[in-house]
């Protein structure tokens, strides 16, 4: 099973939305386990009610969620670590420096892996739904190689706005932004992308 870890600050909004939206956007039978954690998360059961409502409107399932703090073993065990902002990517790398080439922001990875299209830049097996960590490896390697070969973009282009303590409209925009990126990610992982 390929583990993809989403990281935000509190594991309250952005990372759990990405985790749960990817779970519903993946093709049936995909060998991918979306997970999430927060750099400053306090373990607590259940999703924030507003986040859960937005998630459910987008077709996701918020049941059984428990927030958790980002740890070195979580980073080390993930085939791909996707922060929702650059600070989250950097926190993951500080915890597990050997994972640096597997750590991106969500939007950065999708941008680098697809070069603005829905086609992966790396060599991707045809049977994407059955792809495991080995199959995802070429896509991750290609995105890591492109990171140093393309012009940098402003941070805002690679980050998802934090809706914490902001008007409800910001949470809605945040969820839509995440869903757009997750749909493209699901396509990279072997189809899907449109369920929900």
- Considering the entire predicted model, what is its pTM? 0.91
The answer to whether 5 and 78 have CB atoms below 8 angstroms apart is yes
Q: Indicate which residues carry an active-site annotation.
A: 8, 14, 118
CA–CA distances in Å: residue 49 to residues 13, 46, 168, 195: 10, 8, 12, 23
Domain span at residue 32 reads 2-188
In a domain, residue 196? The reply is no
pLDDT digit string, tens, across residues 135-182: 789 999 999 999 989 999 999 999 999 999 999 999 999 999 999 999
In a domain, residue 144? The reply is yes
Specify the number of domains making up the chain. Answer: 1
CATH of the domain at 78: 3.40.50.2300
d(CA 150, CA 145): 9
Q: Percentage of the chain surpassing pLDDT 90?
A: 81
pLDDT digit string, tens, across residues 95-122: 999 999 999 999 999 999 987 565 555 4
pLDDT digit string, tens, across residues 11-52: 999 999 999 999 999 988 899 999 999 999 999 999 999 999
CA 156 remoteness from chain centre: 16
In a domain, residue 194? The reply is no
């Amino acid at each position: 099973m390929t583990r993809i870890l989403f990281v935000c600050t509190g594991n309250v909004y952005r990372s759990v939305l990405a985790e749960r939206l990817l779970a519903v956007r993946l093709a049936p039978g995909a060998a991918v386990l979306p997970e999430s954690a927060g750099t400053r998360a306090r373990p607590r059961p259940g999703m924030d009610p507003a986040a859960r409502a937005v998630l459910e409107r987008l077709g996701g399932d918020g049941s059984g969620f428990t927030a958790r703090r980002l740890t070195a073993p979580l980073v080390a065990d993930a085939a791909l670590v996707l922060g929702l902002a650059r600070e989250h990517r950097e926190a993951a790398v500080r915890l597990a420096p050997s994972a640096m080439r597997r750590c991106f922001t969500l939007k950065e990875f999708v941008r680098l892996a697809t070069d603005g299209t829905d086609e992966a830049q790396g060599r991707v097996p045809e049977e994407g739904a059955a792809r495991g960590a080995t199959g995802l490896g070429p896509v991750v390697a290609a995105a890591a190689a492109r990171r140093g070969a393309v012009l940098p973009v402003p941070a805002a282009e690679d980050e998802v706005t934090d809706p914490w303590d902001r008007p409800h409209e910001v949470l809605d925009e945040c969820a839509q932004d995440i869903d757009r990126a997750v749909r493209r990610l699901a396509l990279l992982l072997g189809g899907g992308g449109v369920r929900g």
